[in-house]
Amino acid sequence: MKPKNILILSVILLLIVVGFMAGDFFFSKGPNQENPYEYDLTKQKEIDSSLICYQEISSIKPETDYLYGIATDENDNLYVAAIEKLFIYNSTGHLINTIQLKDNAYCLTVAPSGNIYLGMADHVEVWNKEGNQLQSWPGISDSSIITSIAVNETSVFVADAGNKVVFHFNLNGELQNKIGEKDTENGKLGFILPSAYFDLLIGRDNELWAVNPGIHQLESYRSNGEMITSWQRTSMQLDGFSGCCNPSHIAMLSDGSFVTSEKGIERVKIHLPTGDFKCVVASPDQFIAGTTDLDLAVDTKDRIYVSDPKKGLVRIFEKMNK
């Protein structure tokens, strides 16, 4: 075949290939349903209504453009950290105080003493509910990203996603030890944190619970850093967690069950103390797609509070009578 004919044939073949590519790009009716690697969460977001055990009974809308975190105290007052403000509501949802802050508090908790512990970007501040600042601790480090605080009668535990460790302080802000440090020689993975989701709570026996979100695991520790137990649920199904960093937030009911929220699949669930799935509090269709930062709190009546930044609400859920 002459070089000229070869060139003409090559051009024709190239045009045919380009035509097929253009047709596939412009006229395709959707993703290839037979692609085993396609990441489609549609099925995972469908919830059987018989598995839902809570119902939304009311909501609170703070006067702010963004909600960062929520907490409750033993009197069922609700505390909401917002843009340079802290809102306090009583058990019936009436605003009883607004505290002006110098900066944003990204997480918070209320101690048994009633003092409010705020996690700023790199340090902790302690306030009372009257709006008086009691303490401001030094910054932990330049790389600190404080994402959660848990407090009992003697200790303050601070989750630092930047340093990937929990700092254990006494009530005066003096460092006692670090919890969950990586130790490859002894087979300790440490906390796997692909993003800044790293939550804590105090359990019924005063133990510390921490989320290890990169491996979908909850871990409990003594104050000296010794691990007590853990449970892990990695699954694309409703009974577990998937994605890079779930569960994103946790709380605990009076029977020791865990309330969990997620990012990627907008839902709130309950897992038994063993980690086994129990039921659903709020399904994905109750949230705007892409909602994250679903912080959680529980009051003395086991009502569940969910911070919904996309809607600007703190939503209150109560157990159904089935």
Q: Find the CATH number of the domain harbouring 144.
A: 2.120.10.30
Q: Is residue 70 part of a domain?
A: yes
How high is the pLDDT of residue 322?
Answer: 66
Residues 6+ apart with CB under 8 A from 217: 211, 230, 231, 232
Domain count, the chain: 1
Count CA within 13 A, CB hemisphere, residue 75. Answer: 12
What tens-digit pLDDT sequence spans the chain (322 residues)?
444 444 444 444 444 433 433 443 333 333 333 434 344 567 778 899 999 999 999 999 999 999 999 999 999 999 999 999 999 999 999 999 999 999 999 999 999 999 999 999 999 999 999 999 999 999 999 999 999 999 999 999 999 999 999 999 999 999 999 999 998 888 888 999 999 999 999 999 999 999 999 999 999 999 999 999 999 999 999 999 999 999 999 999 999 999 999 999 999 999 999 999 999 999 999 999 999 999 999 999 999 999 999 999 999 999 998 6
Q: Is 294 left (phi over 0), alpha (psi -120 to 50) or beta?
A: beta
Contact 263, 215 (CB under 8 A): no
Q: What is the pLDDT of residues 167-218, one digit of tens each?
A: 999 999 999 999 999 988 888 889 999 999 999 999 999 999 999 999 999 9
Q: Is residue 34 part of a domain?
A: no
Q: Is residue 7 part of a domain?
A: no
pLDDT over 70 percentage in the chain: 87
Q: Which amino acid is at 143?
A: S
Host domain of residue 135:
47-319
pTM of the model: 0.87
How high is the pLDDT of residue 286?
Answer: 97
How high is the pLDDT of residue 248?
Answer: 98
Number of neighbours of residue 52 by Cβ within 10 angstroms: 18
Q: Is residue 57 part of a domain?
A: yes
How high is the pLDDT of residue 265?
Answer: 96
Q: Is residue 6 part of a domain?
A: no
DSSP 309-321: TTTTEEEEEEE--
Find out whether the peptide bond into 247 is cis, omega within 30 degrees of 0. Answer: yes
How high is the pLDDT of residue 114?
Answer: 97
Q: Is residue 22 part of a domain?
A: no
Sign of the torsion formed by the C-alpha atoms of 231, 267, 294 and 269: negative
Q: Is residue 37 part of a domain?
A: no
Q: Is residue 215 part of a domain?
A: yes
Cα–Cα dist 126/147, whole Å: 16
Closest CA to 98 of 111, 117, 79: 79
